[in-house]
Structure 1
Amino acid sequence: MTSAPYESTASQASPVPDILSPAFAADPYGAYRIMRESAPLIRHEATNSYLVSRYEDVERIFKDRAGEFTTENYDWQIEPVHGRTILQLSGREHAVRRALVAPAFRGAYLQEKVLPVIERNARELIDAFRHTGEADLVDAFATRLPVLVIADMLGLDRADHDRFHDWYTTVIAFLGNLAGDPEVAAAGQRTRREFAEYMIPIIRQRRNTPGDDLLSALCAAEVDGVRMSDEDIKAFCSLLLAAGGETTDKAIASLFANLLAHPEQFAAVREDRSLVERAFAETLRHSPPVHMIMRRTATEVELSGGTVPAGATVTCLIGSANRDESRYREPDRFDVFRSDLTGTTAFSAAADHLAFALGRHFCVGALLARAEVETGVNQLLDALGELRLADGFTPFEQGVFTRGPRSLPVRFTPVPG
């Protein structure tokens, strides 16, 4: 071991900014480039993990065809705030739990029940500012849409929106607490108690008096004789609120930031709405909402740059892998027309970007995210004419574990409607 923040497993390595440093937070992509080139496997003391930065290694870890990796890291990473979730399960237990929840995020249920909820919420949010000629797309839209959609899907009180938003923000801060701030940790654990006190009585009420909502469907769902317990459902709802809220929030903001920074591509997307899907896929590659996902080694594993011992935590740097020069041409360039990214598979387990992970733990909410983003983007483009950034404002990303613009002030010509 070493007292330095990094110990490269490579024989020679260029200096890399510590992932907990202000320099890294300001420009992680420059640090990622150095890692991929000269230190693709780094032992990071402060997080007690191995940092993996190349596409081929992160893809291999996520797909895990050889059974070399587990999600046991979530026992300490997310259980303190969510309880035991589907992410921690494996084998038949994972397959059954995923089968219980997956139908709500695809197919007929998504199209017939969820899509109208997304469309209504997007329209109501936009109607609140469409005639003003200016708005902060993050505060007025991106942070609100996913939380309202999830609340409506679960049949929860929309008046509690601010509480939901505060809860998921606190949970995401806990998950990204790489420096181990005790106040952030305590706030996350407090949120788990508060959310349980809020949700468990509602879950019990839905079991007795089911409604036409996702929460009632989860209460009644059964696969191979297995049903979800109150605690199972509460943990899933907590995970859905945090993961679905934060990632979709940042995806919408980053997509518009990217397009507004590339006026020709923005004009093309506005003219040809079939490109919205490609713009979202390219945003997930170029500016992923989640930059880091962890796994745990089940056995000793050889990766680019060295060997990881059994029982070690591996931090998969999605933000780096998605800009790997060996996988993408001019990877730092945002390009909705790039030929080395497949838009039609970008929201499935066959995706060739890594923003939703891959393999058996591929994000169950990927199609929900696509529906929210594409609906929101299309409605915004319909309602806001001649959209541009506010004078003097340049979009910039913030965050390390999750990342995206926290503000996006724009000016526009109102479109009658």
Structure 2
Amino acid sequence: MRDEFPLIRHQPTDSYIVSRYEDVARAFKDPVFTTDNYDWQLEPVHGRTILQMSGREHAVRRALVAPAFRGTALQESFLPVIERNARQLVEGFGNSGRVDLVARFATRFPVNVVVDMLGLDQRDYDRFHRWYTAIIGFLGNLAQDPEVAEAGLRTREEFAAYLLPIIRERRAHPGGDLLSTLCAAEVDGTAMSDEDVKAFCSLLLTAGGETTDKAISSLFHNLLRHPDQLAAVREDRSLIARAFAETLRYTPPVHMIMRQVSEDVEIAGGTVPAGSTVTCLIGAAGRDERRYADPDTFDIFRSDLSATTAFSAAADHLSFALGRHFCVGALLAKAEVEVGVGLLLDALPDARLPEGFTARETGIFTRGLEELPVEFTPVG
């Protein structure tokens, strides 16, 4: 596709598909590629989120939420939450000598972190995990399975019934948690409504959870398949960030992101008519030999991917998008991955894949391992 058909009119998704790095990067940065498609793609389960906004409305909403996910706020408020949750899950592995890192760690860790960051009841971990699973299922339901669709729509109602009373309570009695911070945030006289806060928390649960969930298991699997790089990361934990950046390029958690063009656009040798949806293939763009040397090889030391800028809007991978809609939670994801993978390396010093194990990835919009069984020698 990248070589012969860089622009495809795809009838089943009623969209135009681009797969080259330069075209996907342009779709993320050029304002003519809007996020109007999120009105039908995300709003049914989340409500109206920051991703659907543009211009000053988007800039103000982003300014309201962004400070909580960077710098001092991230380090002082949320790093202890991240470390505590990762440690609790790792301690739960026991001494069986085998653990599925997808079921027992990756799918639980980021969701539990979000619940704790928001200052919600830890007894609701399982409820949030169920909501998270239902929303992810809805977003990837290209086959339009009615039961999957119904579960996603029902989750929006359940989540609102749960969270809106808590939001009102936090406005009256704020604490030191993220939910209180979002309720109190104000920029140029603008604050977030209860519905704004609820929609952002719903988005945080799924967007933050899904990316980190699949990235951790994929990263660990990539390292296990490349023992020399695993040994290097064990020796120098600062390389976890490089391994994360390379995983986002090589096996990205999000394989497709859609945009909608506001006018006729010339791209990839063709024309996309105004109002059309453009499907950007992140997974294909990350393997584009026009951009990366030896792109089908996992290499944390590659010179054409910078770990320094990988978690900013200047990133040279595409998993967090680019431009004005660059993922506001990128630094949170980086902190979760660095802490989580670091503790896994400590807890599983001789981690190895079971003999004969073949990894299986599933998913279309988002994609990751179904399971990741790891064998280890129990301590003590």
Q: What's the TM-score, normalizing by structure 1?
A: 0.89
Q: What is the aligned partner in structure 2 of residue 232 from structure 1?
A: 196
Answering whether residue 27 of structure 2 is matched by residue 61 of structure 1, we say: yes
Contact 1:384–1:415 under 8 Å retained in 2:
no
Answering whether residue 354 of structure 2 is matched by residue 393 of structure 1, we say: no
Q: What is the aligned partner in structure 2 of residue 118 from structure 1?
A: 82
CA distance in structure 2 between the aligned counterparts of 1:348 and 1:172, rounded to whole angstroms: 25
The superposition leaves residues 162-203 of structure 1 with CA deviations (integer Å, 9 ceiling, x where unpaired) of: 111111111111111223223222221111111111111111
Answering whether residue 5 of structure 2 is matched by residue 44 of structure 1, we say: no
CA distance in structure 1 between the aligned counterparts of 2:311 and 2:361, rounded to whole angstroms: 23
Contact 1:292–1:316 under 8 Å retained in 2:
yes
**Identity across matched positions, percent:** 73
In structure 2, runs of 5+ residues without a counterpart are: none
Q: CA RMSD in A?
A: 1.0
The superposition leaves residues 293-343 of structure 1 with CA deviations (integer Å, 9 ceiling, x where unpaired) of: 110001100111311000000011101111101000111111111111001
Larger deviation: 335-344 or 182-191?
A: 182-191
Letter matched to residue 259 of structure 1: L
Letter matched to residue 186 of structure 1: E
Q: What's the TM-score, normalizing by structure 2?
A: 0.98
CA distance in structure 1 between the aligned counterparts of 2:336 and 2:161, rounded to whole angstroms: 29
CA distance in structure 1 between the aligned counterparts of 2:6 and 2:333, rounded to whole angstroms: 31
CA distance in structure 1 between the aligned counterparts of 2:93 and 2:147, rounded to whole angstroms: 36
Q: Shift in Å at residue 84 of structure 1?
A: 0.2
Q: What is the aligned partner in structure 2 of residue 102 from structure 1?
A: 66
Q: What is the aligned partner in structure 2 of residue 273 from structure 1?
A: 237
What SS class does the counterpart of residue 16 from structure 2 fall into? Answer: strand
Q: What is the aligned partner in structure 2 of residue 76 from structure 1?
A: 40
Answering whether residue 349 of structure 2 is matched by residue 411 of structure 1, we say: no
Question: 1:247-266 counterparts in 2 under 5 A?
Answer: 247-266=211-230
Question: 1:190-209 counterparts in 2 under 5 A?
Answer: 190-209=154-173
Letter matched to residue 40 of structure 1: P
Q: Shift in Å at residue 99 of structure 1?
A: 0.5
What SS class does the counterpart of residue 374 from structure 2 fall into? Answer: strand
Q: Please, which of 298, 303, 309 is the counterpart of residue 267 of structure 2?
A: 303
Contact 1:47–1:179 under 8 Å retained in 2:
no
CA distance in structure 1 between the aligned counterparts of 2:132 and 2:5, rounded to whole angstroms: 34
In structure 1, runs of 5+ residues without a counterpart are: 1-34
CA distance in structure 1 between the aligned counterparts of 2:209 and 2:151, rounded to whole angstroms: 18
Letter matched to residue 104 of structure 2: A
Q: Shift in Å at residue 132 of structure 1?
A: 3.1
Q: Shift in Å at residue 152 of structure 1?
A: 0.3
CA distance in structure 2 between the aligned counterparts of 1:400 and 1:222, rounded to whole angstroms: 38
Q: Shift in Å at residue 384 of structure 1?
A: 1.3
Q: What is the aligned partner in structure 1 of residue 181 from structure 2?
A: 217
What SS class does the counterpart of residue 375 from structure 2 fall into? Answer: strand
Q: Please, which of 338, 345, 357 is the counterpart of residue 381 of structure 1?
A: 345
